[in-house]
Amino acid sequence: MSVAQFSFSNFVLGDPPLYKFSAPVEMQTLVEDPLLSELVQTDAFQRLGSVRFLGGIDYLFVRNPNGAPGNTRYTRLQHSLGVARLALGYSSVFELPPTDRQLIVAAALLHDIGHAPLSHSIEPVFRECFEIDHHDATRDIIFGHVEIGRSVYKTLQNYSVDIDRLTALVSGKITEFHGFFSGPINFDTIEGILRTRTFGNAPNTFAPDVVVDASINRSSAIHQEIVDQFWSYKDQVYRHVINSSFGVLADQACQAFARHNLKNLEAADYFTSEEALFKKLPGLRQLLTSPNFSFEVSEYLPETIDYAARRFLINRAADFFLREDSSRYFQIKERTSLSVRGHAIKIAAARKRGDLFGYESD
């Protein structure tokens, strides 16, 4: 099938309800795809249901799951199903042979399998103290080097999935499949960024399927506008959420509590749930969910925090239609600092509104 024929069926541009971020893969799809179904049922994958998608930020803004109007607390499990949905659509439209279809669907589903409880918010401490991060953990789970990964490895073997190729695909070392596992415009980023934009009062946007469609077809100015707009959304998400003042403080609070309670932690805690981790970090959940977080967090952090903020920019001289994505869509890092007390009032007001995208200027 030619690129120009690519289209996700039954999708209308600007109709987000057709893509359900809370349940992106229909149950019937799981029943019809035994590999997908069996991987979803493994303990390693089910654990992702207890790992919040945005780590500490989720607890800061949503004190009860789905409890604040306009906010939703998602999990790494839901995100992984979303990435798998995009891979399923891709493999169906291009009529990939069974081996390639199984490969990309499994890679999409397992790409986040190695995330720790509280995800990126606490991973730096596990890396510093136990020399483990989500890259190592992902590989250990997929190859069954850790107990929780044994059923994943066995399932992949039972379906004759090339595990070496799968891990290379997950790590971005394979550039096939239109770069959707290796390039800047990839399944993971598309799903994750647009998922985050539903978390708060960001204006409505197109669904992940539309970005995939436009990225593959590239036959009109509209396709270019969609993909460019997506990249601008990524910049907004990093500025207003991940690298925002509240995002930085949430992450720093998680790491401060982990370092203060190192005697309670061990490497095996990396593969547990957030509920179990909170028990080893007494007071952290209470801090993150406290109405006075903005003021209380200063007790645990230095007055000023230095960090690297990311910006995602577009080089319009690089040709979209010739797929010069590595040049067109790029990022830079800017060293910056944050005054903890200076942002307390601003964060408190934004949190009360549940508005992640409206309180910091562009």
Q: Residue ranges per domain, the chain?
A: 21-353
Per-residue tens of pLDDT for the chain, all 362 residues: 334 344 544 333 333 347 888 889 887 777 688 999 999 999 999 999 999 999 998 888 765 554 455 556 789 999 999 999 999 999 988 999 999 999 999 999 999 999 999 999 999 999 999 999 999 999 999 999 999 999 999 999 999 999 999 999 999 999 999 999 999 999 999 999 999 888 766 666 789 999 999 999 999 999 999 999 999 999 999 998 899 888 999 999 999 999 999 999 999 999 999 999 999 999 999 999 888 888 899 999 998 999 999 999 999 999 999 999 999 999 999 999 988 876 665 666 665 655 556 544 43
Kindly report the number of other CB atoms within 10 A of residue 351's CB atom. Answer: 19
Do residues 60 and 121 touch, judged by C-beta distance below 8 A?
no
Residues 75, 64: Cα–Cα separation, whole Å = 14
Per-residue three-class SS string for 98-150:
HHHHHHHHHHHHHCCCCCCCCHHHCHHHHHHHHCCCHHHHHHHHHCCCCHHHH
CA angle 271, 149, 29 (to 5 degrees): 105
- Residue 52 has what DSSP assignment? B
Encode pLDDT of 271-283 as tens digits. 999 999 999 999 9
**Candidate CATH numbers 3.40.50.300, 1.10.8.80, 1.10.10.10, 1.10.3210.10; the one for domain 21-353:** 1.10.3210.10
Burial of 45 (0-12, 13-18, 19+ CB in 10 A): buried
Give the pLDDT confidence score for residue 3 in this predicted structure: 40
The predicted structure's pLDDT at residue 105: 96
Q: What is the distance between the terminal CA atoms of the chain, rounded to a whole angstrom?
A: 42
Q: Which helix (H) or strand (E) holds 252?
A: helix 245-260
* Residue carrying the six token digits 């979303």: 82
pLDDT confidence of residue 85: 94
- To which residue do tokens 């930020």 refer? 57
**Separation of alpha carbons 141 and 147, rounded Å:** 8
pTM, rounded to two decimals: 0.90
Give dist(CA 343, CA 248) in Å, integer: 11
The answer to whether 48 and 274 are in contact (CB under 8 A) is: no
Neighbouring C-alpha atoms within 13 Å toward the C-beta of 226: 25
Count CA atoms closer than 13 A to 165's CA, side-chain side: 15
Residue type, 305: I
pLDDT digit string (tens) for 48-61?
999 999 999 888 87
Distance CA 307, CA 105 (A): 35
What SS3 class is residue 304? strand
Length of the chain: 362
Question: SS3 for 335?
Answer: strand
What is the C-alpha to C-alpha distance for residues 40 and 288, in angstroms, rounded to an integer? 30
